[in-house]
Amino acid sequence: MDTDRRSHFLNAVLARVGPGLAILAVSWFWAAQPATRALAQTPPKAQVEPGDSIGEPPVDADVTAPPKPKAAERAVAAALYWLAKHQSPDGKWSLEKYTEQCKDKTCTGVGSVESLSAATALGLLPFLAAGQSQATNGPFQKTIKGGFYWLVSHQKADGDLSADAASQMYSHGLATIALCEDYATTHDKTIGVAAQKAINFIEAAQNNKTGGWRYHPGEEGDTSVFGWQMSALRSAQLAGLSVKPATLDGAKKWLNSCADAKNAGRFSYQPEGGPTPPMSAIGVLANQYLKAGRTDPVVTGGVQFLMANQPDSERRNVYYWFYGTEAMHNMADKDWDAWHQKIDKTLTDSQDRAGCASGSWDPEKPTKDAWGPYGGRLMQTSLSCLSMEVYYRYLKLYQLDKGK
């Protein structure tokens, strides 16, 4: 990260989290280097301490992009601080019970479903996207250590990270992404072993006939659950973990079964269903992961469909926006420029700025989000923040391959 972008991000953090974090600002140190530390034997206390600082984005972040607007950086910093404040003392996050950490009654919109492992992954991922890790010397190191301690300590012998959640593979997929992304930057051996076991569980859970995944291992599949497993497999590849080619071949089979025969780049929730923008965003992104070139009809057709359904505050769907933002970011073209200006403005304008809720996103306001009642404020905040951090998470997929 260049000096200007470091300064912008530092100033944004200090502007939103108050003067306490400025105490040692003169000794700012961007310490996001790899390490091989094992997790602590007891869960560390999760808190932000005065004088600490946020680390820089990972080394493979998109450093060629111009600095994000200061308003967007302030929004990300505020979201990270809100997430840290709403972590449970034992290191986990909760979709339903995050309000137990609240200081007032402004954090409305609890989730109607609960998955502690999915919630914990959603709590962790925005910190990882900002370049923090359990090995990074910064204000959220203890927060992140606590989260990973909880995930690893609840992993079963077969690799399952769902912690007995009702939607097993949703929860497992999200938790696996978090482990893989941390391992990619820290090379922590404990995290690496847990991440590979989790990937093995995903591979074993794939339906042999359809190539899909659904709520529980072996079920025929749906594109929504499929998307989280594909993201986990991609994160594993980037981290240098083992992914079987046969698993990816199966994934191609699922995508083909859900592809619209008349409109390339449009995908349905399940075979024989009609295409929707959220499922199409997942389908395009998964095909990009599976090496579809930027001029492949499945990519160009999908991008055209997404551009006809850009983020709109009157039709909020942060789940769709999250996947759409990742797919569009890979294109690195004028369509991406238009999309990211829309997503940044929509999200910065709708972020809460008052009371304990400051830095989060309300699932009910300014309009009800399509998935807000289910995942609540925690999911809303995590996916919104991740959509604004896409610069930091990955290189544009086609950045080094402009001929395809």
HSE value, Cβ hemisphere, 13 Å, CA-based, for 60: 16
Is the Cβ–Cβ distance between 52 and 107 less than 8 Å?
no
How far is the C-alpha of 119 from the C-alpha of 378, rounded, in Å? 7
Q: What is the DSSP letter of 268?
A: B
How far is the C-alpha of 99 from the C-alpha of 86, rounded, in Å? 7
Q: How high is the pLDDT of residue 394?
A: 61
Q: How high is the pLDDT of residue 334?
A: 95
CATH 3.40.220.10 fits 31-43+71-393, yes or no: no
Closest CA to 258 of 229, 278, 243: 278
Is the Cβ–Cβ distance between 287 and 296 less than 8 Å?
yes
Q: Which residue has the tokens 């923040």?
A: 385
User: Is the torsion defined by CA of 188, 148, 161, 108 positive or negative?
Assistant: negative
Tell the burial category of 178 from Cβ atoms under 10 Å away from its Cβ (0-12, 13-18, 19+).
buried
How far is the C-alpha of 230 from the C-alpha of 403, rounded, in Å? 25
Q: How high is the pLDDT of residue 60?
A: 38
Closest CA to 356 of 101, 111, 92: 101
Domain residue limits, the chain: 31-43+71-393
Tell whether omega for the bond before 366 is within 30 degrees of 0, i.e. cis: yes
pLDDT tens for the chain, residues 1 to 404: 433 444 444 444 444 444 333 222 222 222 332 332 333 333 444 333 322 333 333 333 343 444 456 888 999 999 999 999 999 999 999 999 999 999 999 999 999 999 999 999 999 999 999 989 888 888 999 999 999 999 999 999 999 999 999 999 999 999 999 999 999 999 999 999 999 999 999 999 999 999 999 999 999 999 999 999 999 999 999 999 999 999 999 999 999 999 999 999 999 999 999 999 999 999 999 999 999 999 999 999 999 999 999 999 999 999 999 999 999 999 989 999 999 999 999 999 999 999 999 999 999 999 999 999 999 999 999 999 999 999 776 655 555 444 44
pTM: 0.85
Q: What is the DSSP letter of 37?
A: P
Is the Cβ–Cβ distance between 275 and 268 less than 8 Å?
yes
How far is the C-alpha of 13 from the C-alpha of 5, rounded, in Å? 12
**CA-CA-CA-CA torsion for 229, 234, 235, 237, nearest 10 degrees?**
130
Q: How high is the pLDDT of residue 49?
A: 34
Q: What is the DSSP letter of 61?
A: S
Residue-wise DSSP of 186-219: H--HHHHHHHHHHHHHHHHHS-TTT----SSTT-
Q: How high is the pLDDT of residue 137?
A: 87
Is the Cβ–Cβ distance between 47 and 55 less than 8 Å?
no
Strand partners, 275: 268
- Other CB atoms within a 10 A radius of the CB of residue 168 amount to 24
How far is the C-alpha of 234 from the C-alpha of 195, rounded, in Å? 12
